[in-house]
Structure 1
Amino acid sequence: MSPKKMLFPVGGGDELESRINGALLVSKHFNTHLEVQLSEATVSSGVPTGVVLPNEIVDKLEKIQLDNLKTVMSTHRHIFDECCKKIAIVESETPINNQATAHLTMTVGLRSTIVAQQTKFCDMVIAAAPQKGVATATFEAAVLESGKPVMVIPRAMKEFKTDKVIIGWNNSPEVARAVSAAIPLMKEAKLVHIVSTKAYTTESLSRIRDLRNYLAMHDIETTFELIKTTFIPGEALLKTANEGKFDLIVAGAYCKKGLKEMMLGGSSRYTLEHTKIPALVSH
């Protein structure tokens, strides 16, 4: 099933225009509706628990915040409008049949909390890779708490296509969910390549055969390769994806304490910091 609504949480910081542009490119590919959600903290969220500020100070802080919100929204609005025009996406609060649409909204509150809640009401989340590969609370909320497939995009992405798809298979429930979410994309792909390592095929290659047979039922032909891992978790999958000039990585994201493992059970930081390829992940 193709997504009807996608949600892209966005903050400030570097590469703002390229991040918004990248999210719009994804929604354009799906010809669907994208909600770009801007969240800004409240005055109260920055005050330590138990600390009570005088009303006069609170009033001044709230006035400063209001002025700041207007500036932030104006900046995002200008960039959003320009990107929509460039990509030929219609600005609309509601979806329009057979038309790529997008809408910019602003909410006030703790960003990670808002993202964790609002991402539950969409079909797919788009999340820009965090700077230097360090997962923020907002990024973790999008990936780990949404319950939805997440399209992780590089912070600078000039085009989005899915002609060549690579699956990082580790036989986990998370990657199984990611594969199911990616079926509509893989049905249109020219190449779907499965990679795994000996660590995840210790019993036999029967699980790989099961996966390939499952995808064949969806008329998806696949190829398969066992790759060697390195001392840097995540490096092997990314190296294979780059060398093969793949357009999309499909993988699982899971953790025990934060986003510690991603894709082939490797460190998310390496992958997020170095990838120039979007990844469809599921938790």
Structure 2
Amino acid sequence: MQLKKIFFPIGGGEELAERIHGALLVNKFFGTHINIMACQLDPKMIYNVRMTLKGGVLMEEFLKSAGDEMRAEREEIKAIFDAECAKLDLDQNDDDHVPNSAALRHMVGIRSELVEKYSKYCDLVLVSVPPTGSITGTFEAAVTKSGKPCIVIPRKLQEFKADKILVSLTGTAASARALDNWLELLQRAKSVTVITANHYLQEGIPETKRRISDYLALHDV
């Protein structure tokens, strides 16, 4: 699979610099263009309707305060993005055609919906592990609703290599496509570990193992 463009969605929260740094490391490894989308929720979307009707000055003050916080968050993300691009010597460029480059885009709306929509226009979706380990709506949208291959990275990533690769084969069409998409990367790995689940076994463990091993060996893995 020839990669040209990576998509990486982020929100606020902790370890922001670390997450951006990790995403840029992956982008540098592949020599691609990465589009980092910073998502913010419009305060008008969550403000109580009855309070809005009675709002008056209170409503105006709330929206002004929320707007100031959103601008401050955008400035913080941009400063981190600039610093991390400089560290890794990555060109900042909005043109998807430029290799070894990165672009930051700010979007306002429901994060999971934005991720599902914009992740369809890339070759690879990159997502960091949720902070508590529990699957979030944003994580699910990135991994299962984009229709694209996805790499999940830790929230703190100091180095990205593809020497050791873990492949999950679940018997689904999606996992079969994922395997085919990444055969070239698997060929370069020093170690490949394949996992599956009992209810996906095909005629028992030995037969399932044989089928997987034969297919990978056919492609020099």
* Band the TM-score falls in, shorter-chain normalisation: 0.7 to 0.9
Tell me how far 1:116 sits from its aligned partner: 1.5
Partner of 2:182: helix, strand, or coil? Answer: helix
1:60 corresponds in structure 2 to 61
Q: How does 1:149-188 map to 2 (within 5 A)?
A: 149-188=149-188
Tell me how far 1:197 sits from its aligned partner: 6.1
Q: Distance in 2 between matches of 1:96 and 1:121?
A: 13
Change (3 A) 1:194 1:143: closer
Change (3 A) 1:96 1:122: closer
Q: How does 1:198-277 map to 2 (within 5 A)?
A: 200-201=200-201, 203-204=203-204, 205-217=206-218, 219-221=219-221
Q: Distance in 1 between matches of 2:34 and 2:185?
A: 18
Change (3 A) 1:49 1:151: farther
More helix by share: 2
Q: Distance in 1 between matches of 2:73 and 2:196?
A: 44
- Cα deviation, 1:73-93, whole Å, max 9, x if unaligned, reads 111111111111111111111
Change (3 A) 1:138 1:197: closer
CA RMSD, 1 decimal: 2.3
Instruction: Point out where structure 2 has 5 or more consecutive residues left out of the alignment.
Output: none
Q: Distance in 2 between matches of 1:49 and 1:121?
A: 35
Tell me how far 1:215 sits from its aligned partner: 3.0
Q: Which residue identity does 2:26 align to in structure 1?
A: V
Change (3 A) 1:135 1:197: closer
Q: Distance in 1 between matches of 2:198 and 2:178?
A: 21
Tell me how far 1:127 sits from its aligned partner: 0.8
Q: Distance in 1 between matches of 2:211 and 2:25?
A: 33
Tell me how far 1:115 sits from its aligned partner: 1.2
1:276 corresponds in structure 2 to none
Tell me how far 1:70 sits from its aligned partner: 1.6
Q: Is the 8 Å Cα contact of residues 2 and 30 (structure 1) preserved in structure 2?
A: no
Q: Distance in 2 between matches of 1:194 and 1:216?
A: 13
Name which structure has the greater RCO, CA cutoff 8 Å, separation 6+: 2
Q: How does 1:1-283 map to 2 (within 5 A)?
A: 1-48=1-48, 52-53=52-53, 54=55, 56-97=57-98, 99-196=99-196, 200-201=200-201, 203-204=203-204, 205-217=206-218, 219-221=219-221
Partner of 1:159: helix, strand, or coil? Answer: coil
Change (3 A) 1:148 1:193: same
- Cα deviation, 1:8-33, whole Å, max 9, x if unaligned, reads 11111111111110111111111101
- Cα deviation, 1:118-170, whole Å, max 9, x if unaligned, reads 11111111111011201222112211221112111101111111012232334
Partner of 1:151: helix, strand, or coil? Answer: strand
Tell me how far 1:196 sits from its aligned partner: 4.5
Q: Distance in 2 between matches of 1:49 and 1:141?
A: 28
- Cα deviation, 1:210-261, whole Å, max 9, x if unaligned, reads 33333334x332xxxxxxxxxxxxxxxxxxxxxxxxxxxxxxxxxxxxxxxx
Q: Distance in 1 between matches of 2:84 and 2:172?
A: 37
Partner of 2:13: helix, strand, or coil? Answer: coil
What percentage of aligned pairs have identical amino acids?
Answer: 34
Q: How many pairs are equivalent?
A: 219
Q: Distance in 2 between matches of 1:181 and 1:9?
A: 22
Q: TM-score, normalised by structure 1?
A: 0.70
Tell me how far 1:199 sits from its aligned partner: 5.3
